[in-house]
Structure 1
Amino acid sequence: MAAIVSPTPPQRLALAREADAADWLAGLPALVDTVLARWELTAERVAEPGGRTSMTVLVRCADGERAVLKLCAPGTPAGLEEAALRRWDGLGAVRVLRSLPEAGALLLERLHGETSLRSLPEAKAMLEAVSAVRRLWVDPGPGDVFPSVAERTGHAVPALRAAVAGEAGPLAEEALRLRAELVADAREHLLLHGDFRQGAVLASDAGRSPWLAVGPEPVTGERAYDLARLVRDRLHDLVASPGAAAVTRRRVKRLADSVEVDPERLRGWTLFRAVESGVRSLAAGRRAEGELLLECAGWL
């Protein structure tokens, strides 16, 4: 059985992990070999640049089927990702072929990882994105195992409270206020992708859809939360365009209208998610990224 020429974790993954993940990073090559042997897979190459919390290997199954082996870092919700993908069962999202929960390993159908919705012109990409995300908004099903939006966003509250005293103070305070209002008046209980954006929708030749979602961070809640990450897509292009603030506000209105959600709730979740990401980026030393996200939040 063929082995990977160099199973070294992608640099993006190595740089993103904290010190307590060092053992996992060091053991990744051996883990890959173990899973390859167990599932009788032949590795082709490590996908680059890969994610920040997972390593992806392009493989072939014993019957020649092309697939993707995804190994998730400790602390990432591999089990929740599998549960969501199985709930969708290929409707709008990639299919799970096999799983090994104790190893954080998922074997997924192969999509065109090099071609996401970001390859399309902006207007077309947004239309396809809305079409794709609509198919994911389903009932969580029996034995709902997914965290709620209130639970997920609650983890960010301490950092935002601490940020109130810093440079992001007014925005952090507003984000906390908006979150409190939104979760107190929760209106829907649907399964959401959780990290939906153009880059998370890949081209497919599976036949059931030309575009399929990958990499969910599933939660349950309202549709406006899922659309919020999409509002700030292609943020660098937005900043470089004239009237970026007005363009962003128009995006909120158009996306809200396209799926009939309250534009004020979408604005609120978009601001919260931008501030939360901005504060997290600043704390991680990614200052340019953090400042850009906070600027985006300021437009709203």
Structure 2
Amino acid sequence: MKFLVTNDDGIFAPGVAALVEVLQHFGEIYVVCPDQERSAISHSITIKQPLKATPVSIFGSNVQAWAINGTTADCVKLALEVLLKEPPDVVVSGINLGANLGRDVFYSGTMAGAAEASLFNIPAIAVSVDRTNTKETNFQLPKRLFYEVMEIILPNKPPEGVFININLPYVTREFCAGIKVVPLDLSVSRYKYVGLNDPYGQVYYWLKDRLSQLSDFDEDGDYGKLKAGYITVTPLEGKVCHKKHVKKLERWFNNKMLKKSKEELYS
């Protein structure tokens, strides 16, 4: 089995090395990551400057890897269209420092890597650990949990166009409450703008991290279950056009468009 690994913390992030170590137990690894941190860039791609793919050898001689001066979505798109001779079986994005939960998944570069792969109909997984301090994070804990999750996922085939978001609690296997398949809790929004005055009275707005202050949340959603010590698994759809609503919107516009002559349009 062939895996493409990406992330948004940069190719030298310890979470990438941890992910490679886990996936090497299951197959062949290719790594294509941003050359530096690109957190919270969502699904953006680079169109105003050229991209450079720089080979790196930090993962050993058995792992082909490239650092890209672009976004996570750039990395997956470039890998699938140019760098890899054939498509991988699975794309895995992570291991991200900091859980991706609720509304914040739509801002995440880690999530965008998995979403981009799903647009190519390639099964994809985004994985994050509920920890934010690199120096204080022992990746042996999430590595063991993720290994067991992959043993369950890989024998199965995700639905086409769907990618899987996984959040790992920062606990030992013995203290992990289990695995829960859960919906996004869209009431959860980690960051909120707050105004601050500079010495001259000008107001500037910064995003404040209020994750530790959240109190009103769905106990059965992704945030609630992760907080309770579960590994959370959420299926998400990369292709967002909802076919079931097409007919409904067609009825809105059917025979409602104004028919104007050329003379009226250009008068």
What TM-score does the superposition give when structure 2 sets the normalisation length? 0.25
- Please identify which structure carries the higher helix content: 1
- Please identify which structure carries the higher strand content: 2
What TM-score does the superposition give when structure 1 sets the normalisation length? 0.23
State which structure, 1 or 2, has the greater radius of gyration over its C-alpha atoms.
Answer: 2
